[in-house]
Structure 1
Amino acid sequence: MDEQLKPLPKEFYETPTLDLAKELLGCILVKETSEGVSSGIIVETEAYLGTVDQAAHSYQNRRTKRTEVMFHDAGLVYTYQMHTHCLVNVVSGPVDVPEAILIRAVEPFTGIDLMLKRRPVTNFKNLTSGPGKLTKAMHITMDDYGKPFYNSSLYITQGKKPRQIDHGTRIGIDNSGEAKNYPYRFWIPQNPFVSR
């Protein structure tokens, strides 16, 4: 572990999901690999409220190989494949309350050369301004599934709390009934790395 970047403790994640989705903003997502360490300031999140949220993978208690980790302790890594991308989520509900928070965008912080090597871009704003972009740049993969954010090579550390937080509807969930209108997306206003 990088001495400057200590993982937040397990207790940090034991917070109601909508509150945690806001608390994560400004925190730093860190990934250690054999190539080196990269990190990014979390600037955008989306909350998914499990069994009652039609947009959640675990809606109506859907328990599958993919969603299994969501039924475990808060603070675990939930990665899943979407098309060619791996997306990363924080498991946020207590045991058997399958909720999670998607990390939608980060602002590059350290290991930027390494991120650019993995994901060469001409416009720097495109490096980590979306959930699939940030995982590729930081080499977050399906191998991270189920690991604890508070004790693994993928972790979250304290950052600087944003002065202001905006919220609105989530992105890309048009087929989820009234859930598509829930204001469960949170972001740091004016940050250029917010996905949209």
Structure 2
Amino acid sequence: MTSTRNQAPALVPDPARALGASFYERPVVDVARDLLGCLLVSQHDGITTAGLIVETEAYAGPDDPASHAAFRRNGTVTAMWGPPGRAYVYLAYGVYPCFNVVTGPEGEAAAVLIRAIAPVAGIEHMAARRGGADGPRLASGPGRLAVALGITLADNGRALDGPPLWIQPGAPPDCIAAGPRIGVRRGDQRPWRFGIAGHPLLSRPFPP
């Protein structure tokens, strides 16, 4: 596992430290890399849960064949067109909620899928939401982490600037791994999946 610097402050949820819209109003690949090591916090149902982001995937607009924006324009995907700094939540296979962060200028669809977090707060509540799942990998995978954090379709389009959902600075990783995105049939060779190199809680290891 790659070590991180100044880890202790990054573990304390604090809405006053929520990242502003300017952080997200940048190219999607840059945001995907810079989200690694940040703290994702949820305060749903009066319960605070949080985890350090250890894996992300970038998805651009209609010119990205793997992006929802390439073949949808209505429904929940509308959130991808901005404004930046909001949540885009969709159901994978019609069942599993997946949490994305909208990036780039408003009107240009782009979002970062959060694929895995390292739980640091409210872990017992995260496990209960996962049906009693045990072990550190209870939020390794986009569907798992959204359920563990209590994120639902009701959060689609929500501003990520404070409770009940926000992201705050954490500890930048020493080394970032990159590789092809997972589970896509088109545009699968773009190296737009990023993770903290060697982290044990990645949803899937990166190729050597």
TM-score (norm 2): 0.87
Q: How much does 1:5 deviate?
A: 6.3
Displacement, 1:19?
0.5
Pair 1:13 & 2:5 matched: no
Amino acid at match of 2:78: E
Choose 145-154 or 23-32, whichever is displaced more.
145-154
State yes or no: 1:154 paired with 2:165.
Answer: yes
**Paired residue type of 2:117:** V
Aligned to 2:4: none
Give runs of aligned pairs for residues 82-121 of structure 1, distance below 5 A.
Answer: 82-83=92-93, 84-119=95-130, 120-121=132-133
For 1:165 and 1:49, the matched residues in 2 are separated by 20
Q: Structure 1 residues 49 and 4, CA, compared in 2 at 3 Å: closer, same or farther?
A: closer
Letter aligned with residue 143 of structure 1: A
Q: Distance in 1 between matches of 2:165 and 2:155?
A: 7
Q: Following the alignment from structure 2 to structure 1, what is the Cα–Cα distance between the partners of residues 103 and 139?
A: 23
2:86 paired residue number: 76
Please provide the CA RMSD for this pair.
Answer: 1.4
What residue identity is the alignment partner of 2:75? K
C-alpha distance in 2, partners of 1:10/1:152? 15
Partner secondary structure for residue 181 of structure 1 = coil
Q: Is the 8 A contact 2:119 2:139 kept in 1?
A: yes
The alignment status of 1:180 with 2:188, answered yes or no, reads yes
User: What do the CA deviations read for 1:146-186 (whole angstroms, capped 9, x no partner)?
Assistant: 01111341110110000000000000002x1xx11000000
Uncovered stretches (5+) of structure 1, i.e. residues with no partner = none
CA distance in 1, matches of 2:201, 2:123: 14
* Partners of 1:29 and 1:157 within 8 A in 2: yes
Distance 1:115 1:24 in 2: 21
Q: In the alignment, residue 193 of structure 2 is paired with which amino acid?
A: R
Q: Report the CA distance shift for 1:127/1:5 in structure 2 as closer, same or farther (over 3 A).
A: farther
What is the rounded CA distance, in whole Å, between the counterparts of 1:89 and 1:20 in structure 2? 12
> Contact between 2:15 and 2:163, CA under 8 Å: does it hold in 1?
no
For the structure 1 residues 4 and 49, does the alpha-carbon distance in structure 2 shift closer, same or farther, using more than 3 Å as the test? Answer: closer
Task: Please state whether the residue corresponding to 1:58 is helix, strand or coil.
Answer: helix
2:71 maps to 1:64? no
Give the counterpart letter for 1:113 in structure 2.
E
Query: How many residues are treated as equivalent by the alignment?
Result: 190
Aligned to 1:32: 43
Find the counterpart in structure 2 of residue 190 from structure 1.
Answer: 198
